[in-house]
Amino acid sequence: MKDNSTQKTALIVQQAHQAFVQMSNIKGIERSQAVLNMAIKLEECLDDILQANTLDLEISKEMAVPDLILEWLKLTPQRLKTAIEILKTLAELPDPFQKVINSPYQVTYSQNYSQLMPLGVIALIYEALPELAIITAGLAIKTGNTIILRGSSEASNTNTIITQVLQVALEDANFPASCLQFLPSEEGYSIEDLVTSDQYINLIIPYGRPSLIQKVTQLATAPVLKSAIANCGLYWSSSGDLDLVRHVIIDSYKSIPDRVNAIEKVLINKNHSLNSIVRLFNHLKEQKFNLFGDENLVADFPDYLKPIKPSQWNQPLFNHSIAFRTVDDLNDAIVWINEYSSGHANCIITDSYQEGRIFAMEIDSALVYVNSSPRFYRYLPGSNSVFLGISNQKGHRRGLISLETFTTLKQIVMGGGEILSNN
């Protein structure tokens, strides 16, 4: 059985590569029209998709799927409509390959420049969150790539109908039949078979809990773009405003359903008064947060905090949970965050420009926020920016995962035909 599924995966990956080669002659205006077709078809099938999602939710609840996954799985009409709006926005954006970039170096007697180019075959391995298939497919097609989707079993019915609708839309746009493919997990398509197909796959994007990211990263022989969710740190400086701290923490949880930049670890400067700390805890309790702390804080505030396990400091807590600890100063906070945070988004609340500057320069993080909420927006209405998520790695790309993440650079050197002497 495994040998058969391995062979089928290999064939699908090869077909995706062949489709990518065929797409090289498709113009930017045609790619934009295909993305718009995807949005239109999804609108036409909106009710069918929501019905399939309701069925997935009922099955998952009977199987005692964790609440976090149920939250990610539930595709509300608004979430689906937002994904459709993202496709429409992508369709209106200019062709990313019209941009010419200055070359990082010049060759004597030649003109050289860099050109954005498609990556090739992209695989998305995602946990619940069915709208991610829509958004990633839009980003891939807009940039001339082919896409293979491998969703989790909890969203089986939703993923199936979404991919069928997208495939019909691309077929109507005369795109190659294999430019968008779906590997149902329940049919035996393994993650390992997919991520080790490095002959044809150019980028793998895993999206979900840390266990999924770690599994894909350990197995993959093709390049992996790791995404990160939660476990962001906030340092509350001795000069930081309490009201701003409260706002930033709560606002970071308002990106629904996956709270990408949720602040889960708060470092409190030791000079803050007990009254200020109690006011913060009371406010967060009113907002239904679960509060944890280190041994010292739990001893001081037993009515507010539960002890956190040492192993949880460098792991996402999820489920509206925040852990607190005290630190001596800015340097102590920087050292701690660099060791324990996920490294994709971290914050400081301070009235000191110098502290903010030091924090921004010394924190090892893709995104740094000074007196600002790190709330993640996949798409802001009226904006031209679309983001799939955030990468915390330092390899292929770091930071916001956007259209340019789905491209690569080609350097072009144009000589004048002269034969230059070596003397």
Q: For 277-320, how does the pLDDT look when each residue is reduced to its tens digit (9 = 90+)?
A: 999 999 999 999 999 999 999 999 999 999 999 999 999 999 89
Task: Say yes or no: 54 and 189 in one domain.
Answer: yes
Among residues 179, 210, 212, which one has the least CA distance to residue 195? 212
Task: Say yes or no: 207 and 311 in one domain.
Answer: no
- Domain range for 272 is 232-370
Task: Say yes or no: 149 and 280 in one domain.
Answer: no
Q: Is residue 380 in some structural domain?
A: no
**What local confidence, expressed as pLDDT, does residue 112 receive?**
80
- Mean pLDDT in residue range 172-201: 91
- Mean pLDDT in residue range 38-56: 97
In this model, does residue 3 exceed pLDDT 90? Answer: no
Taking the alpha carbons at both ends of the chain, their separation in whole angstroms is 66
Q: What are the backbone dihedrals phi and psi of residue 404, each rounded to the nearest 5 degrees, phi first?
A: -65, -25
In this model, does residue 133 exceed pLDDT 80? Answer: yes
Q: Is residue 41 in some structural domain?
A: yes
CATH of the domain at 51: 3.40.605.10
Q: Is residue 172 in some structural domain?
A: yes
Among residues 188, 145, 198, which one has the least CA distance to residue 31? 145
CA distance 11 to 387: 31
Cα dihedral 100, 93, 230, 256, rounded to 10, equals 180
Task: Say yes or no: 32 and 172 in one domain.
Answer: yes
* Residues facing 323 on adjacent strands: 265, 292
Q: Is residue 383 in some structural domain?
A: no
In this model, does residue 62 exceed pLDDT 70? Answer: yes
Task: Say yes or no: 37 and 140 in one domain.
Answer: yes
Q: Is residue 176 in some structural domain?
A: yes
Task: Say yes or no: 216 and 239 in one domain.
Answer: no
Percent of the chain with pLDDT over 90: 82
Per-residue pLDDT band for 422 (boundaries 50, 70, 90) equals low
CATH of the domain at 316: 3.40.309.10
- Mean pLDDT in residue range 153-160: 95
Task: Say yes or no: 317 and 394 in one domain.
Answer: no
- pLDDT, one tens digit per residue, over 400-413 is 999 999 998 888 88
Q: Are the C-beta atoms of residues 349 and 236 closer than 8 Å to each other?
A: yes
- Looking at the structure of the chain, the number of domains it has is 2
- The chain-wide mean pLDDT, for the chain, equals 92
CA distance 265 to 347: 10
Q: Is residue 319 in some structural domain?
A: yes
- pLDDT, one tens digit per residue, over 208-238 is 999 999 999 999 999 999 989 999 999 999 9
Task: Say yes or no: 54 and 178 in one domain.
Answer: yes
Strands of 174-260 (E only): list them. Answer: 180-182, 201-207, 232-236
Per-residue pLDDT band for 104 (boundaries 50, 70, 90) equals low
- When mean pLDDT is compared across 239-248, 334-343, 384-393, the lowest value belongs to 384-393
**What local confidence, expressed as pLDDT, does residue 423 receive?**
52
| Joined tokens for residue 11 | 């064939």
Q: Are the C-beta atoms of residues 324 and 213 closer than 8 Å to each other?
A: no
* DSSP assignment string, 355-394: HHHHHHHH---SEEEESS-----SB-TT-S-B--EEE--S
**What local confidence, expressed as pLDDT, does residue 36 receive?**
98
Q: Is residue 311 in some structural domain?
A: yes
For β-strands 100-102 and 110-118, DSSP reports them as antiparallel
Q: Are the C-beta atoms of residues 406 and 145 closer than 8 Å to each other?
A: yes
Task: Say yes or no: 211 and 360 in one domain.
Answer: no
CA distance 75 to 51: 10
Task: Say yes or no: 250 and 218 in one domain.
Answer: no
Per-residue pLDDT band for 98 (boundaries 50, 70, 90) equals confident
Q: Is residue 397 in some structural domain?
A: yes
Q: Are the C-beta atoms of residues 228 and 45 closer than 8 Å to each other?
A: no
Half-sphere exposure of 179 (CA within 13 A, CB side): 32
**What local confidence, expressed as pLDDT, does residue 393 receive?**
85
Task: Say yes or no: 46 and 123 in one domain.
Answer: yes
Q: Are the C-beta atoms of residues 376 and 251 closer than 8 Å to each other?
A: no
In this model, does residue 26 exceed pLDDT 90? Answer: yes
**What local confidence, expressed as pLDDT, does residue 88 receive?**
96
Task: Say yes or no: 98 and 247 in one domain.
Answer: no
Amino acid at site 54: T
Residue 311 or residue 102, greater confidence: 311
